[in-house]
Amino acid sequence: MADYTRKNLKEIEDQAQKFGLSPNLEFRVPGDELDAENSAISYLRVAPNFRLPFGHTHKEQEEVYVLLSGSARLKLDDEVLELAPWDVVRIPKETVRNVEGGPEGAELLLIGAPKTGPGDADVQPEWWTD
């Protein structure tokens, strides 16, 4: 029998609720449920025109963001990118980043490697200001 793990991302606990960011944000991180050894994946849904209230970097993990639907603005350090469906962006660990949903909101997959766990992120409150 093949060795694999199958999960439905929408059945994974929504972490946004724990931090008071629902209903503007949905964030599902399968983590240990997926049994991945070297990589990580997350699902992120951002409400229309909602901006995450912080930026973050990683100590070790490089990330790839894939916009599945809607539109989004992705701030990387001091640069803002306009994303359309199926845009893919690789983000080095030391780049400060976060996302804002477009007029119809946004759904993204976030892929990271190596798998590091929650202690890898350094959060910068109130980083994205106009």
> From start to end of the chain, where are the E strands?
25-28, 40-46, 54-58, 62-76, 79-83, 88-91, 97-113, 121-125
Query: Would you place residue 104 in the very low, low, confident or very high pLDDT band (cuts 50, 70, 90)?
Result: very high
Contact indicator for 95, 57 with CB cutoff of 8 Å: yes
Per-chain mean pLDDT for the chain:
95
| AA letter at 2 | A
Pull the structure tokens for residue 49.
Answer: 């025109």
Q: What is the pLDDT of residue 66?
A: 98
C-alpha–C-alpha distance, residues 114 and 50, integer Å:
29
Query: Would you place residue 115 in the very low, low, confident or very high pLDDT band (cuts 50, 70, 90)?
Result: very high
Name the nearest CA neighbour of 50 among 107, 111, 124.
107
Residue 1 has pLDDT above 90, yes or no: no
- Condensed to tens digits (0 to 9), the pLDDT of residues 31-75 reads 889 999 999 999 999 999 999 989 999 999 999 999 999 999 999
Q: What is the pLDDT of residue 67?
A: 98
Q: What is the pLDDT of residue 78?
A: 95
Pull the structure tokens for residue 87.
Answer: 């845009």
Burial bucket for residue 125 (CB in 10 Å: 0-12, 13-18, 19+)? exposed
pTM as predicted: 0.94
